[in-house]
Amino acid sequence: MQYARVVPRTLVFPRDHGAHPEFRTEWWYLTGWLDATGRPSIGFQATFFRVRTPIADDSSRFSPQQLLIAHAALADPARGALLHEERAQRTGFGLVEASTADTDVRIDRWRFARDSRSGIYRGTIPARAFDLELSAAPTQAPLLQGNSGLSWKGPTGEQASYYYSEPQLAIEATLNIAGSTLRFRGRGWLDHEWSTSVLDPQAAGWDWVGMNLDDGSTLTAFEIRRIGPGPPIHRYASLRAPGAPVRTFGADEVSFETLATWRSPRTGATYPVARRISIGGQAFETRPLMNDQELDSRTSTGAVYWEGASELLQTGQRVGRGYLEMTGYVAPMRL
């Protein structure tokens, strides 16, 4: 099986909002905070993954050549742990599809699609424990990560992805849960990324943050951690102020430090749930909405990871909100 390789090219929209089935892995990753008068804020995640399997394209149409996987999770401090649901099916038969023309990914009644005229994303997640319907309206241009959308994940060109973000999304959501209907507004962040070989064989996993700042700025930062002792394999960060070009930072300008940890009673993994992130001459801190935001997806993607709604602080004051994701703390991450 030959997979497509990541090479320098210009991203073209709306085509690159759609799926890229020639690559091994791809995801549309929507996270955000939801607010409503008279109740605490909650975090949400709605993610659709596409995986190209090693099965040849000329095999039976019943063969699982492409798989779609979806996760949805709510982080409500009143509950104290994630409320999580997932789906996984092969593509085909008009029920499980990922369009190549624009964002339109669906697994039966779970769907995430972009309206080509307005640019608004709409998600429908009818889960067993909750129903979530949302719209996410762009307020800024797409943020091309790395070098104009080519994002390196290691010291060589072998570990790379195409990667752009849609930060500062204006969210409207309706949540049906426990017999009640709740309506929210909030801010969201969408990452769309596709690749074939994104991790070095010696990589344990990654720590990543995507933060919407209150002044309209955006912050992205990640590091690829190494298995065992030693420095991270790669680090990266970007900052974009409203109306300004994106600033990117190389590995020697980015660092992550642990401020607080939490140990999972289910997996025994210890996660650094509060971080200090230094970027250039600036220092930020993250503070979790709640400690237990561990997501166990071993029945679908095969991974256990911490996907946490977090506040962003600077000099002790909250300056934004977003998500911190940490993979590879139970076992090395393998895509």
pLDDT at 63: 57
pLDDT at 65: 83
Whether 286 maps to a domain, the answer reads yes
SS3 323: strand
pLDDT at 58: 54
pLDDT at 152: 92
- Output the domain CATH number for residue 262: 2.40.370.10
Kindly report, residue by residue over 152-161, the tens digit of the pLDDT. Answer: 998 776 789 9
Q: What is the pTM of this model?
A: 0.93
- CA 180 – CA 122 distance, rounded (Å): 21
pLDDT at 114: 98
- CA 285 – CA 313 distance, rounded (Å): 5
Whether 162 maps to a domain, the answer reads yes
pLDDT at 202: 85
Whether 6 maps to a domain, the answer reads no
Whether 119 maps to a domain, the answer reads yes
User: Nearest to residue 93, comparing CAs of 120, 122, 62?
Assistant: 62
- CB burial of residue 135 (10 Å; 0-12, 13-18, 19+): middle
Whether 223 maps to a domain, the answer reads yes
What type of residue is 4? A
The structure tokens 């939801």 sit at 34
DSSP 92: B
pLDDT at 236: 96
User: Domain tally for the chain?
Assistant: 1
- CA 25 – CA 21 distance, rounded (Å): 8
SS3 134: strand
User: 252 φ, ψ to 5°?
Assistant: -80, -5
The Cα-based distances of 177 to 74, 123, 129, 174, 270 in angstroms read: 11, 16, 7, 10, 30
What type of residue is 275? R
Whether 54 maps to a domain, the answer reads yes
Kindly report, residue by residue over 269-325, the tens digit of the pLDDT. Answer: 999 999 999 999 899 999 999 999 998 876 656 688 899 999 999 999 999 999 999
What type of residue is 165? S
Both tokens of residue 335? Answer: 């895509």
Both tokens of residue 142? Answer: 């797409």
* Domain that includes residue 93, residue range: 15-327
The residue ranges of the chain whose pLDDT is under 50 are none
pLDDT at 106: 96
SS3 234: strand
Q: What size, in residues, is the chain?
A: 335
User: 16 φ, ψ to 5°?
Assistant: -80, 0
Whether 4 maps to a domain, the answer reads no
DSSP 115: -
Whether 335 maps to a domain, the answer reads no
What type of residue is 240? R
Residues 6 or more apart whose Cβ sits within 8 Å of residue 135: 120, 121, 122, 123, 171, 172, 173
